[in-house]
Amino acid sequence: MNIKSPLRLTAATAVLLALTGCASFSGDAGMGAIDPLVQARTGAPARTLKTEADRRALDELLQARLAQPLSADGAVEIALLNNRTLQASYWELGIAEADLVQAGRLQNPAFGYQHMRGGGDVSIERTLTFNLVSLITAPLASRIEGRQFEQTRQQVAAEAVQVAADTRRAWVEAVAATQAVEYARQVAGAAEASAELGQRMRQAGNWSAYDQAREQAFYAEAMADVARATQAATAAREHLTRLLGLWGTQAQYRLPERLPELPAAPRDIADVEQRAVRERLDVQAANLATQRTASALGLSRATRFVNVLELGAVRESDGGAKARGYEVTLEIPLFDWGGARTARAEAVYMQAVNRLAATATDARSAARESYQAYRSAYDVARHYRDVVIPLRKKLSDETLLRYNGMLLSTFELLADAREQRSAVNAYVGALKDFWLAESSLETALGGRLPAVVPPSQQGATQ
C-alpha cells in the first residue's frame, strides 16, 4: 500500500496503537501468574531461574535443605525449582508470553524511497507502508494469543503440581524402601544367628547335616531378600533423585530413617466432591474452555452477517520444527451469511459444555474414590499399628517366657524374631500405602490439604 503523504497517518497509527491495548512483558516470564496457583496446590513456590543471582539463591537453598535429612516438603520445594524438565516448561510460559506481546504489537511501518530517472525525468517517490491488515487483525490476534497464554499457564501449573505429587510419592517410596532394607537385614540377622548356632550344633555332634542345612537355607534366602530390598531401595532413591534434578555430591542427600508416623486421626473431609470441582486444574481448564467457546459463540452470533474475518489458530508441524501462529481469512459475505458458522460455534460450545460436565463428573468420582482409599489405607495402617504389632510383640514376649521355661528352643525364638520383623515390615508397607494414598487424595482434590491433624506421639514404628 503506497501512500504518498504518510504524515497524516502518524497520528492515526498512534490512535490505533492505543486501541489495540497491547500487552507488555511481565518481567518474570509469566511465572508471577502461576506461582500462586502452584503454591496453593503444592505448598512450595515455582520460579524460573533466569539470572546468576537466581542460580546462587537456589544453590543456597539446596545447601540448606540437603544439610538435613530431606523431608517430603523439602523434596517438593527442591523439585519445583531444580527439576530441569519443569524449568523447561516454565520457559514455555515465557514463549507464550512473548507470543502474546508480539501479537499485541503492530508491524513496523516500512519506509520506501524510490528514485527514478528516465527521459531526463527524475522522480523520487517516498513511501511509508503500513500493514493495515495487521492493524485490523491485531485485537483478534491478541485475543488468540491471550487464550494461548492462558492455556499454557494452566498446562505449566498442572505440570508443576504433577511433579510435586510425583516427588512426594517418590519420597515416600524411597524412605519406605530404605526401611525395608533395614528390616530385611534384621531378618537376615536372625537367620544368620540360627545358621551359626546350627553350625555349632553340628560341630558339637548334636545335630544332623539335615538340620544344619535347613537353618543355612533360611539364611541364604534371607540374604537374597536383603539384596533384592537393597536394589529396590536404590531404584526408588534414584527415581526421587531424578525428580529433584540432583547430581554429583548433591545426589548424596540423606533421607529420614523412617516414614512419618500415622496421624492420630484421619482427615475428615465432608466436601471432597465440591473441593475437587473447585480446586482441580483440569476442571478449571475445562471451565475456561467453555467460557472461551461461549464468547466465541457470542462473537459469531454478533458478527454473522458482517463477518469478514475468519480467525484460526494455526499450529504447524513440519518435521521436527513446530510453528504456531494464526491465520486470518478475509471473506466477502456474498453467498454465506454465516449461519453454518454459527451452528458450528454452537456445536463447539456444546462440546465444551459436555466436556466440562464429564471432567467434573470424573473429578467427583476420583475424589470419592481417593478419599475412600485414603480412609481404608488409614484403617489398615492403624490396624497394623494398634492390633497386629502389639499382638506380635505379645507373641514374642510369650515366646521368650517359654524359652525361659525351656519349653521352646533358641531356634524357635529366632524364628519368632524373624516373623516379628516381617510383621513390622508389613506395617511399614501399610504406612507407605497410607502416605501414598494421602498424596493421591491431594492430587484428586486438586491440591495440598491443610495439616489438620498433628502427628501421633504414640504408636511407635518400633
Partner 1 sequence: MTDSMKRRSFLQGAALLGAGMVSKAGAATLPEAPVQGSAATAAPLVPPNGRPYNPVVTLNGWSLPWRMKDGVKEFHLVAEPVVRELAPGMHANLWGYNGQSPGPTIEVVEGDRVRIFVTNKLPEHTSVHWHGQILPNGMDGVSGVTQPSIQPGKTFVYEFVAKHAGTFMYHPHADEMAQMAMGMMGFWVTHPKDPRQHAVDRDFVFLLSAYDIEPGSYTPKVNTMLDFNLWTFNSRVFPAIDPMVVRQGERVRIRAGNLTMTNHPLHVHGHTFEVTGTDGGWVRPSARWPEVTTDVAVGQMRAIEFVADNPGDWAFHCHKSHHTMNAMGHDVPTLIGVDHRGVAEKINKLVPGYMVMGEKGGAMGGMRMPLPENTLPMMTGTGQFGEIEMGGMFTLLKVREGLARGDYRDPGHYRHPKGTVAYEWTGEAPPAPSAPGGKAGRADGALDVRRGGASTGHEGH
Residues lying near partner 1 in the complex (CB under 8 A) = 186, 189-190, 192-193, 195-197, 199-207, 209, 211-212, 216, 219, 396, 398, 400-411, 413-414, 416-417
Q: Following DSSP, what letter does each residue of 122-190 receive, concatenated? A: EEEEEEEE--HHHHHHHHHHHHHHHHHHHHHHHHHHHHHHHHHHHHHHHHHHHHHHHHHHHHHHHHHHH
Nearer to partner 1, 124 or 209 (CB): 209
Q: Are strands 309-318 and 321-330 parallel, antiparallel or unpaired?
A: antiparallel
Residue 121: beta bridge partners? 118
Least Cβ distance, residue 261 to partner 1 (angstroms): 22
Collapsed DSSP state (helix, strand, coil) of residue 441: helix
Our CB check for partner 1 shows the closer of 401 and 460 to be 401
Q: Which is nearer to partner 1, 3 or 197 (CB)?
A: 197
Shortest Å, Cβ 393 to partner 1: 12
Distance CA 188, CA 417 (A): 10
Q: How far is the CB of 187 from partner 1 (least distance, A)?
A: 9
Cα-Cα-Cα-Cα dihedral sign, residues 271, 277, 281, 282:
positive
Helix (H, G, I), strand (E, B) or coil at 121: strand
Q: How far is the CB of 455 from partner 1 (least distance, A)?
A: 27
Residue 408 C-beta: closest distance to partner 1, Å: 6
Min CB(390)–partner 1 separation in Å? 17
Measure CA 29 to chain center. Answer: 20
> Between 202 and 258, whose beta carbon lies closer to partner 1?
202
Residue whose CB is less far from partner 1, 367 or 417: 417
Helices vs. strands in the chain: H and E counts, helices first? 12, 4
The x, y and z cell numbers of residue 385, run together, are: 499399628
The residue among 17 and 408 lying less far from partner 1, judged by its C-beta, is 408
